[in-house]
Amino acid sequence: MAEYKWPDADKRTWIGKRVSRIDGPDKVSGRAKYTYDLNRPGMLFGIFVRCPYAHAKVVSIDTSAAEKMTGVKAIKVIQGPGSEIQWAGDEVVALAAVDEATAAAAVQAVKVEYEKLPHLVVDTDPVGAGPRGKSTAQESEGDPDKAFRESAAVVEGDYGVPVITHCCLEAHGQISEWTDKEHLLVHPSTQNVSGIATQMGTPLGMPPGNIKVHMDHVGGGFGSKFGPDRWGIVTAQLSQLAGGKPVKIMLERASELEVAGCRPSTYARVKVGARQDGTIVAWESKSWGTGGVQPSGSPPLPYIFKIPNYRKQYTSIENNIGPQRAWRAPNHPQAAAITMTALDDLAAALAMDPLDFFLKNIEMTGALAPVFTEELHKAAELIDWKKNWHQRGDTTPGPIKRGLGLSIHTWGGRGHNGNCDLTIHPDGSVEVKTGSQDLGTGTRTAIRIVAADAFAIPLEGVTVKLGDNEYPPDGGSGGSTTIGGVSAFTRRAALDALDELYAKVAPALDAKPEELEAWAGAIRVKNAPDRKIAWKDACAKLGVTPITTRGKNPGPGNLTNSGVGGVQMADASVDIETGVVKMNRIVAVQDCGLVINTKLAESQCYGSLIMGVSYALYEEKIMDQATGRMLNPNMEFYKLAGIGDIGEFVVHMMGGKGYDERGVVGLGEPPVVSPGAAISNAVANAIGVRVPYLPLTPDRVLEALAKKGGNNARI
Amino acid sequence: MNDEDNNEKESGSGISRRDFLKVSGISLSVPLVVGHRVITVAGADVKIYGPGKAPITLEINGKRFPAEVEPRDTLLDTMRNRLDITGAKRVCDRGTCGACTVIMDGRPVYSCSVLAIEAQGKPISTVEGLAQNDTLHPIQQAFIDNDGQQCGFCTPGFVVACKAFLDKNPNPTPEEVKKGLGGNLCRCGTYVGVRAAVLQAAKAHGAVKGGGQHG
């Protein structure tokens, strides 16, 4: 029986190499079809009548005029009279028409009367939120008051991150069509191909087995596309009303930003104290945030550092904005932007270099302390920290001030539960099928690498099929769990398949099956490598019956693991006359256990850094309390970083001894955690004062400069 | 049937607002698909379409595509919803993100902000037209080699924008790349790969040019 482990470095054919993504040619040529791109035969276009108020009761709905319009094929009231609407843009009536223009005109023809109710859409004032602020119990350990009294330095300040929105470039949406009275075919835009049928079956009152789900590509999710959502269910209902014709709903851009993406905000008043030697001894935080009308949870504060004496409390503001969705590394970027900044301010109060300060306290990070230590040194070397760092406040003359800042982060990332079927055909070709999805993280490519590596054959010898719920189910792609899951189950399936192949081939090589190995395109005898049979010839021994094995995760052997560390150091310049922050460089040093594909692992880090610059400097879902609406539900005022805004990056993947043997760990979340904190710290180092809240927009920078630190002044 | 045969010619020294409204009003009650009308305004012929559908022909990637469009239909929606040419993506739908970039008359345009009727008679290249048979354009290959893509939804627009950029700036500096491609947004964060891809493609382009000079 196979020993389920990863091959040693000298026995890897493809694992860890730099491999271009399999679906690259389809994506660069426009051949890749996303749900948004599909034109199903006779397809109708669905759209919603949306509530313009942040909080209202539906009084009456009149769809009669819309029903009479030529080209309108189905109308369904989603939230009828008496329904209470909790956020602007929520869906009230759905309809489908022969084209988008007709659908849009029909929306105008639907008359809905609302009774407006009082709303709250802002979140910066937990006291002003009144009864909508739900406070959790205070949590404490040790004796924070005593520890603060005995501290040589104590700083107190405000920190925070606003609500941001996912802004997937392919909007949320789905196409549904009834292939007969009992069977549904759906094309979603999802991170969770295998999970859609169950989530649709219940509300539609039909067996999930009658719902076929297919998706080849998805244009971004970032944590916001795990369910079919109301619009997904509605496409099926409208299709039914229209006699089974395909109905497509893709959210308009404004709705995408208003209702389909919300990373909860977190703000905090933090007090933190240290001894003269830099040892952190006490933490106190009062934090709050919103994730819409449902309660939001507190981020893990203080982040990573186990400070011996602490007191903390969190208030969830339940307000009338679009509902929260998971966003890459839920709660961690917020926790880092509050903790690593407060600690940086504390280091500044002690006139300590934050690199020395973090290293001084690194044991408080627990089991990952050796990883963080190694990474801090590596990052410092790559950005030349000791040469470029200066005490807070760049004293060079002129308006441009430059500074360095750092942050550390962690994440779990163990592979999720999943399955694949791996087939070795007698002609030597290999197929892996799984109900997984490739979000652009390189899942297809990783599966191909793992299978081709096990068989030591060319990458082209492996075909990967995913994106369909007729394949063995896989988990949703969230929480950096996909790479660990698919790598582990593909490896197990491949090793089992090899065992079967060895049994067929062994007589020809006059050896026992357990004496064989796959290497360099052949099956050979381990101790007599000249006795070998080429891969194709070996597979031909199967006759006409392929080998198919089911790979599962979890399963035998430690192929995936949890817990990674990362360090980032940012170099930014600030124009103190205009308040504009400009990125020079970010160095990211990241661990993810055994790297399957170095090229795409680096891409994950680059992407995270770019997203990080974007939320650190530009992104904010700006809500207007007067109207209850989002003021920037578009891409000119909901700003994403562009190609010229990001500066330069240096990414270093930790690997080799001490990392590889841990197995495969996910990478999608961790590197997106630190940029906000690291950039905020770089700005504070440059201009000498803390800009309390992200994004670090010119007005906030100028305000902080005018107040000379304001609330964040040293006590 | 030639489109021009369908056109009802009107002539005169100009058109008043009232006349224009009258023309529009008449069109509302005429059959669903009609050709354009031509009126003369200040001595120049002006084509009047709509408000119903009008037959037009678009020239995309060297092929002619007849379509029936309303005057308000964008080039992007016409390609995607009527012609099933879906490489150009609809993202912001208002000229901000560049995902719908195509080359029209030799210049990159946001096809969400061009009316289909405006695009008549102007050669249009989309991402689907870049590869020669099965051979990818050097820019496409450079996007693969440098991983200038993740989810890939912005990629077609970016690839086309790069093509137009390099046609105009065959040997760009990294700074010029940052400015020249500032009109395309990516959410996954592929700019590092895109920058490298543009420079690689420029080099390949230069090599071809160099070879040509010697040959």
Parallel, antiparallel, or unpaired for β A133-135 and A309-317? Answer: antiparallel
Written as six digits, the tokens of A504 are: 């067929």
Query: Which residues from chain B sit within 8 angstroms of residue A640, using beta carbons?
Result: 185-187
Residue A281 pLDDT: 98
Mutate to test the interface with A, among B84, B96, B187 (most CBs of A within 10 A): B187
Query: Which residues from chain A sit within 8 angstroms of residue B156, using beta carbons?
Result: 27-28, 30
Burial (CB count <10 Å: 0-12, 13-18, 19+), residue A149: exposed
Query: Which residues from chain A sit within 8 angstroms of residue B143, using beta carbons?
Result: 24, 28
Written as six digits, the tokens of B62 are: 């060297």
Contact A607 B190 (CB under 8 A): yes
Mean pLDDT, chain A, rounded, equals 97
Domain with CATH 3.30.365.10 in chain A: 9-32+415-553, 266-413+561-712
Say how far apart CA A411 and CA A414 lie, in whole Å: 9
Domain A35-118+172-250 - what CATH class? Answer: alpha beta
Residue A164 pLDDT: 98
Nearest CA to A466 out of A193, A98, A189, A89 is that of A193
Distance from CA of A385 to the nearest CA of B (A): 23
Give the amino acid at B121: G
ipTM passes above 0.85: yes
Query: Which residues from chain B sit within 8 angstroms of residue A31, using beta carbons?
Result: 128
The residue in chain A having the minimum alpha-carbon distance to the alpha carbon of residue B188 is A607
Q: Is the dihedral of CA A411, A417, A421, A422 positive or negative?
A: positive
Residue B39 pLDDT: 87
Contact A219 B93 (CB under 8 A): no
Residue B6 pLDDT: 40
Instruction: Say if residues A471 and A444 touch (Cβ distance below 8 Å).
Output: no
Across A655-677, average pLDDT: 96
Instruction: Say if residues A431 and A423 touch (Cβ distance below 8 Å).
Output: yes
Contact A169 B154 (CB under 8 A): yes
Say how far apart CA A182 and CA A240 lie, in whole Å: 10
Say how far apart CA A454 and CA A81 lie, in whole Å: 61
Only one residue has tokens 């002619």, namely B64
Query: Which residues from chain A sit within 8 angstroms of residue B134, using beta carbons?
Result: none
Task: Specify which residues A156 forms β-bridges with.
Answer: A271
How many separate helices (H) and strands (E) can be counted in chain B?
7, 8
Instruction: Say if residues A248 and A232 touch (Cβ distance below 8 Å).
Output: no
Predicted confidence band of residue A295 (pLDDT cuts 50, 70, 90): very high
Q: How many CB pairs under 8 A join A and B?
A: 169
Contact B140 A169 (CB under 8 A): no
**Contact with chain A for residue B178, Cβ under 8 A:** yes
Only one residue has tokens 């090599």, namely B207
Give the amino acid at B146: N
Domain A9-32+415-553 - what CATH class? Answer: alpha beta
Query: Which residues from chain A sit within 8 angstroms of residue B188, using beta carbons?
Result: 220, 440, 607, 611
Is 3.40.50.300 the CATH classification of the domain at A266-413+561-712?
no
Say how far apart CA A346 and CA A272 lie, in whole Å: 7
Could you read off the pLDDT of A22-60 as tens digits, one per residue?
999 999 999 999 999 999 999 999 999 999 999 999 999
Say how far apart CA A609 and CA A602 lie, in whole Å: 11
Written as six digits, the tokens of A233 are: 């269910």
**Contact with chain B for residue A218, Cβ under 8 A:** yes
Helix (H, G, I), strand (E, B) or coil at A533: strand
Residue A384 pLDDT: 98
Give the amino acid at A666: G
Say how far apart CA B61 and CA B125 lie, in whole Å: 5
The residue in chain A having the minimum alpha-carbon distance to the alpha carbon of residue B72 is A101
Give the amino acid at A61: I
- Beta strands of A425-488 (E only): which ranges? 430-434, 462-466
pLDDT 10s per residue in chain B (215 long)? 344 334 434 443 444 444 444 444 444 444 567 888 888 888 888 888 888 899 999 999 999 999 999 999 999 999 999 999 999 999 999 999 999 999 999 999 999 999 999 999 999 999 999 998 889 999 999 999 999 999 999 999 999 999 999 999 999 999 999 999 999 999 999 999 999 999 999 998 765 543 333 32
Only one residue has tokens 């000229």, namely B95
Helix (H, G, I), strand (E, B) or coil at A279: coil
Written as six digits, the tokens of B162 are: 């790069």
Instruction: Say if residues A634 and A257 touch (Cβ distance below 8 Å).
Output: yes
Q: Which of A591-605, A613-627, A695-709 has the lowest mean pLDDT?
A: A695-709
- Calculate what percentage of chain A has a pLDDT beyond 90: 97
Contact B144 A28 (CB under 8 A): yes
Say how far apart CA A236 and CA A234 lie, in whole Å: 5
Full-model pTM: 0.94
Contact B97 A99 (CB under 8 A): no
Residue B37 pLDDT: 86
Burial (CB count <10 Å: 0-12, 13-18, 19+), residue A69: middle
Nearest CA to A146 out of A338, A313, A275, A269 is that of A275
**Contact with chain B for residue A618, Cβ under 8 A:** no
Say how far apart CA A5 and CA A662 lie, in whole Å: 10
Query: Which residues from chain A sit within 8 angstroms of residue B179, using beta carbons?
Result: 644
Could you read off the pLDDT of A562-606 as tens digits, one per residue?
999 999 999 999 999 999 999 999 999 999 999 999 999 999 999
Longest dimension (CA), chain B: 65
Say how far apart CA B57 and CA A201 lie, in whole Å: 44
Compute chain B's Rg from CA coordinates. Answer: 21
Side-chain-side CA neighbours of B195 within 13 Å: the count stands at 21
Domain with CATH 3.90.1170.50 in chain A: 35-118+172-250
Parallel, antiparallel, or unpaired for β A280-290 and A266-274? Answer: antiparallel
Instruction: Say if residues A221 and A191 touch (Cβ distance below 8 Å).
Output: yes
| Better pLDDT: A334 or B35 | A334
Burial (CB count <10 Å: 0-12, 13-18, 19+), residue A395: exposed
How many C-beta neighbours within 10 Å does residue A138 have?
Answer: 11
Instruction: Say which DSSP state A334 is in.
Output: H
Contact B189 A608 (CB under 8 A): yes
Contact B92 A36 (CB under 8 A): no
Only one residue has tokens 């209470």, namely A84
Say how far apart CA A193 and CA A220 lie, in whole Å: 14
Domains and CATH numbers, chain B: 3-48 (no CATH), 56-128 (3.10.20.30), 130-209 (1.10.150.120)
Give the amino acid at A253: R
